[in-house]
């Protein structure tokens, strides 16, 4: 690939410029997360981000133009052969046109110049670099709360499953209870395994049938919950009793280590005093948005351009993200897309369509659509 990059640079008459562009973009990406965290604190950083987005869009346009020209040359050549394909890279053939190569070369030089200016201003803005780490292996594992109020559990499916398992566990037919049995409830995180187990555990028929019951709490969850209760109640109070706001901040907390410091950091966040959001949009929604990685922010905002109550199929959505360039690691884009999709669901930024949950379909709440519109206007 290095050879191809060097050849393109030579054909365009700009040796070294493409490598320079790549290196500048890499350095800017390293400070992008810090810039987005500080965006709400100053208009200078907001302007810097806008300038960066403008130049990156122009860079995308140059790449698209090269691809279009390459396809036009291939389509217009009936005698296309492997030699015309420039050793297996058809895109190179379009750069052999002097007029086109001069035009593209000038645009790349101009983009490089603009990016250099943007990169130099990062120090003045106090932006710090952080390593860019692929998120493919960083799938979040949610710690499930065991303190479930049984009267609040609703849903036909969970009632059916509870009835079936309770009946099976309390069956008194000859031979059924002679051996020790273990019932395993399996499934991906967040589908309600703990909820179902707790409902069975508290069923009156189980109380009557078993003299001794034990509910195992792994990793000291009981003490953690008691330790965080006061902070949790203060956070809930800041959510103004809005269920979606509570779910939203819960989606942020479930991605953090369950330490008191992390909960206090959420409670003390500057987002709670943030102004300038649309009337129906609560500050917690910006808190959720601010906590996303840069690519995940793009994936999230992209979902807001569709009509209200639009139902996304997971596979289609991942392909759309790929087409828009949001999935940077294209060698394993499918795995990365699934991770992004699962994380948006886990953070409660997308919601499963209940009737179609097993088919991988979801939608975006209309309040989040309004919120994303305010972000897009910036």
Contact 125, 44 (CB under 8 A): yes
Range 114-137 burial, b when 16+ CB lie within 10 A, else e: bbeebbebbeebebeeeeeeebee
Gap between the Cα atoms of 161 and 199, Å rounded:
10
pLDDT score recorded for residue 178:
57
Ranges of the chain whose pLDDT falls below 50: 1-14, 78-92, 133-154, 173-174, 356-358
Please list, in sequence order, all residues whose beta carbon lies within 8 angstroms of the beta carbon of residue 3, skipping any fewer than 6 positions away.
none
pLDDT score recorded for residue 315:
92
pLDDT score recorded for residue 303:
95
Gap between the Cα atoms of 59 and 22, Å rounded:
11
Gap between the Cα atoms of 98 and 78, Å rounded:
22
Gap between the Cα atoms of 247 and 300, Å rounded:
17
pLDDT score recorded for residue 139:
43
pLDDT score recorded for residue 17:
62
């Amino acid at each position: 690939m290095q050879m191809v990059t060097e050849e393109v640079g030579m054909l365009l008459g700009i040796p070294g410029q493409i490598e320079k562009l790549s290196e500048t973009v890499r350095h800017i990406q390293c400070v992008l997360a810090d810039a987005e965290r500080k965006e709400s604190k100053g208009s200078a950083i907001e302007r810097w981000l806008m300038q960066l987005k403008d130049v990156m869009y122009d860079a995308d346009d140059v790449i698209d133009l090269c691809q279009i020209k390459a396809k036009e040359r291939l389509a217009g050549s009936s005698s296309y052969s492997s030699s015309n394909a420039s050793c297996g890279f058809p895109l190179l053939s379009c750069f052999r046109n002097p007029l086109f190569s001069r035009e593209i070369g000038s645009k790349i030089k101009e983009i490089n110049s603009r990016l250099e200016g943007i990169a130099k201003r990062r120090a003045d803005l106090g932006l710090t670099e952080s390593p860019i780490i692929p998120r493919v292996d960083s799938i979040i594992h949610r710690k499930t709360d065991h303190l479930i109020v049984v009267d609040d559990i609703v849903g036909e499916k969970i009632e059916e499953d509870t009835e079936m398992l309770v009946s099976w566990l309390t069956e008194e037919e000859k031979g059924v209870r002679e051996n020790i049995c273990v019932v395993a409830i399996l499934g991906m995180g967040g589908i309600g395994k703990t909820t179902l187990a707790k409902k069975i555990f508290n069923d009156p028929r189980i109380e009557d049938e078993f003299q001794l019951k034990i509910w195992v709490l792994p990793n000291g969850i009981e003490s953690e919950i008691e330790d965080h209760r006061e902070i949790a109640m203060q956070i809930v109070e800041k959510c103004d009793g809005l269920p979606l706001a509570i779910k939203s901040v819960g989606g942020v907390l479930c991605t953090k280590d369950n330490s008191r410091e992390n909960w206090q950091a959420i409670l003390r966040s500057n987002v709670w005093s943030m102004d300038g959001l649309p009337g129906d949009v609560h500050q917690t929604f910006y808190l959720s948005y601010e906590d996303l990685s840069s690519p995940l922010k793009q994936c999230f905002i992209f979902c807001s351009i569709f009509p209200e109550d639009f139902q996304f199929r997971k596979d289609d959505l991942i392909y759309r993200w790929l087409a828009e360039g949001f999935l940077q690691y294209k060698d394993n884009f499918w795995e990365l897309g699934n991770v992004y999709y699962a994380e948006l669901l886990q953070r409660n930024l997308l919601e499963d369509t209940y009737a179609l949950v097993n088919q991988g379909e979801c939608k975006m709440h209309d309040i989040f659509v309004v919120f994303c519109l305010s972000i897009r206007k910036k």
